[in-house]
Amino acid sequence: MLETKKRKSKSTSLFDLEGVPSLKKALPLSFQHLLAMIVGNVTPAIIVAGVSDLSAADKILLVQASMFMAGISTLLQLYPIWKLGSGLPVIIGISFAYVPTLTAIGSAYGIKAIFGAQLIGGIAAVIVGAFIKPLRKLFPPMVAGTVVFTIGLSLYPTAIKYMAGGASAKDFGAPIYWVIALVTLAVVLICNNFGKGYIKLASILIGIIVGYIFSIFLGQVKFDAVSTAAWAQLPTVNHFGLEFIPSAIISMVVIYVVNSVQAVGDYSATTAGGLDRVPEDRELSGGIIANGLINIIGPFFGGLPTATYSQNVGIVAMTKVVSKYVFALTAGFILIAGFIPKFGAVITTIPQSVLGGATITVFAMITMTGIKLIIQDELSGRNLSIVGLSVALGMGITQVPGALDAFPSWVSMVFGSSPVVITTLVVILLNTILPKQSIAQEEKERKEME
């Protein structure tokens, strides 16, 4: 037994959770995770700063805090303290899922109301995490798979917007963006399908590097942000303040509860895609509680709501690299960016079309991981109707602008912003109230009718 433990502790495998590979192997793969998350991590802060009418200096603080809190959150997930953290190979960052709610609160009440509501939302997440074991019976593979499947589908528009140059681009959809994105995608596919060993594992990183160099030659990379960014800056404590607005708190609490439940899908996709198993109760509980705690602390540093990053989950599913050491290096880079704004500025010079071309394969893997989970349960007529209807309502309602405008604003704020929210609620509700019926029972019923 002791020898087994020693062998495991000395593992240098990229595919071992506790493996500690050489820096030569680990650094490129950790940088691959960094590139996949960094733009998405700082973008919510930029959006919220705009609607909250913050100064340029406060905008920089908000972006810095996004990096700092993401790094701390990721390390806590990788290396749990007591019951805080999942111990799984995940990357935590500022979540896009909260952006519609944050912008609504920010434009109406300001940044203080956002952080006040976030603090209460973090408490709600901790409560959900504490009771996840009895709640877990609500998430058989079919339910978790439906959530993961919808997460993948919901990310496709983000990837396509990136490929077309980014939603903020004045010439959005210009051919040059598509050329860059498709060149990047082609390199990823070639490396992943024709490459072997390390080239195959680092296919996304290689694609981003080639796409970036190609973009420089086409004049699509601007270094203005690098020259103006500071070399070093510490996070500021309680710079923005807190304000507790009831309607803002209600909206945020609902989103936190639903996204805590949604996290089960990301953790399930991570373990299914990288470890070929389902997550344990302690992993789910520790992960959700730790994220809730970070979101209680975050408002005091200017850190916006965090969540597991689905694009990084997709990389795990694609490469099968689960070494926590690789992810710890990524967290270290994220923290460096939090203390050295110029480092983060360099990373953010990567054109969105490059990131779109690289990450669309990742989002596709998330979708397929969802299907993999769904088919672990038998595909009876009952289960097929539950999965189909849940996805149809989730994707359908959120793709029709104004569908919920007749309801109170908080309803649209909560349920109209992300298809994952509606899909999660519907699939849990239907799976709970509809009578269980296997394929054999359905066949028996048909025979009796004859």
DSSP output for 286-311 = HHHHHHHHHHHHGGGTTPPPEEE-HH
The per-residue pLDDT for 290 is 96
The per-residue pLDDT for 1 is 47
Nearest-angstrom CA–CA distance, 261 and 420? 10
450 belongs to a structural domain: no
The per-residue pLDDT for 242 is 93
| Residues in the chain, overall count | 450
323 belongs to a structural domain: yes
Nearest-angstrom CA–CA distance, 420 and 229? 36
Domain count, the chain: 1
Burial class of residue 296 in the structure, from the number of CB atoms within 10 Å of its CB (0-12 exposed, 13-18 middle, 19+ buried): middle
Q: Is the pTM of the predicted complex or chain greater than 0.85?
A: no
The per-residue pLDDT for 142 is 87
127 belongs to a structural domain: yes
The per-residue pLDDT for 9 is 53
Write out the chain's pLDDT in tens, 450 residues.
444 444 445 788 888 888 899 898 899 889 888 877 876 788 788 778 777 877 767 877 888 888 899 999 999 999 999 889 999 999 999 887 787 678 778 888 889 999 999 999 999 999 999 998 887 777 788 888 888 888 788 878 878 888 998 777 788 888 999 999 999 999 989 988 888 767 777 787 788 889 999 999 988 887 776 777 778 777 778 888 899 988 888 878 877 887 787 788 789 888 988 888 888 989 999 999 999 999 999 999 999 999 888 778 888 887 889 999 999 999 998 988 888 877 766 766 778 888 888 878 878 877 887 888 888 888 888 889 999 999 999 899 888 888 888 888 778 767 776 787 788 889 989 999 988 878 877 788 777 776
| CA distances for 424 relative to 99, 126, 285, 398, 420, angstroms | 18, 19, 18, 13, 6
Q: Which of 345, 340, 333 is nearest to 233 (CA)?
A: 340
In sequence order, the 6+-apart residues with CB closer than 8 A to the CB of 23 are none
160 belongs to a structural domain: yes
The per-residue pLDDT for 190 is 92
207 belongs to a structural domain: yes
Instruction: Kindly provide the b/e burial profile for residues 306-327, where b requires at least 16 CB atoms within 10 angstroms of the residue's own CB.
Output: bbbbbbbbbbbbbbebbbbbbb
CA atoms within 13 A on the CB side of 270: 30
- 179 touches 219 (CB < 8 A): no
445 belongs to a structural domain: no
The per-residue pLDDT for 78 is 95
In sequence order, the 6+-apart residues with CB closer than 8 A to the CB of 1 are none
124 belongs to a structural domain: yes
If DSSP codes are grouped into helix, strand and coil, which group holds residue 197? coil
The per-residue pLDDT for 350 is 79
The per-residue pLDDT for 205 is 78
Alpha-carbon dihedral sign for residues 276, 208, 70, 310: negative
The per-residue pLDDT for 430 is 93
β-bridge mates for residue 92, sequence order? 308
393 belongs to a structural domain: no
The per-residue pLDDT for 53 is 77
The per-residue pLDDT for 387 is 93
Phi and psi at residue 85, in whole multiples of 5°?
Answer: 120, 150
Instruction: Kindly provide the b/e burial profile for residues 115-134, where b requires at least 16 CB atoms within 10 angstroms of the residue's own CB.
Output: bbbbbbbbebbbbbbeebee
- Domain range for 323 is 15-377
Q: Tell me the one-letter amino acid at 257.
A: V
The per-residue pLDDT for 7 is 47
